[in-house]
Amino acid sequence: MPSRKKTAMFASAFFTCVCSFVMICVVLATQHWMSSEVRFSRTNSSIIVSLTYGLFSGTCGQFVDAGLYVPEKTFQVADNLGNTKAKSTITAIIVILVLGLLTSLLSSGFTCTNAVSNPYQTFLGPIGVYTWNSLCGIFILISMILFPVNVEGNGLSTELARGCFSLLQTHIKSAHTYGYSYWIMLLIIFLNISSIIIIYFYDHARYSKKKEQERPIENAPKDVILF
């Protein structure tokens, strides 16, 4: 059975890994990644399309300068994008987040195993926890980078607006606000770093204690050497 200190440390890391797993599920499930207002020109007037969307679905509404308002309607992101570069990037983000979900699940399993037992294989110990948490953090960071690139570089909001309302003409400008579903990914990265730090302190303390027990005989007291 593991010591109380090991159980406490790995149980703490297990809690952070489970929280990371839950947060990734929230990120995938919610549609508050982006809120955009996209302005288009039309003869003698302009149109503003208001969008709120995530990776799978969203809502859009239309405002016209003359005072006409088209009520919000829901849409599917994949259907509105068609076969475009923006759709490919969204698909890549979803795949990367799913990989992050799997690595977070593996990290939870490793920390739980170490909290209740002493596995013999080296990779099942701290090294495995470092590996899976690092990979999860990297996947989340890549997703955080790809999404703004898709919005700014591939005109994601503009493409979705055109998918909602087909009669839109020349795009003038866009204003974007990132929602909580996007910023939650910062919390996920923090949770992964926390797990690594917790296990590092435990592993470092164990290593220091082991080295102290194995110190050379010349460092031992003289009376012990004489004996």
Q: 138 or 213: whose pLDDT is higher?
A: 138
Has residue 4 got a pLDDT over 90? no
Which residues, including other chains, have CB under 8 Å from residue 224's CB and lie 6 or more apart?
Answer: none
Q: What is the pLDDT of residues 33-67, one digit of tens each?
A: 999 998 888 777 788 889 999 999 999 988 876 56
In the chain the first and final C-alpha atoms are separated, in Å, by 36
Query: What's the order of all strands across the beta sheet hosting 34-42?
Result: 69-76, 57-64, 45-53, 34-42, 170-178
The two three-digit tokens of residue 94, written as one number: 């979803």
With cut-offs at 50, 70 and 90, classify the pLDDT of residue 225.
very low
Residue with tokens 């399309």: 49
Contact 151, 33 (CB under 8 A): no
Has residue 12 got a pLDDT over 80? yes
Residue with tokens 């297990």: 14
Q: Which stretches of 46-84 are DSSP H helices?
A: 77-81
The percent of residues in the chain predicted with pLDDT above 90, rounded, is 47
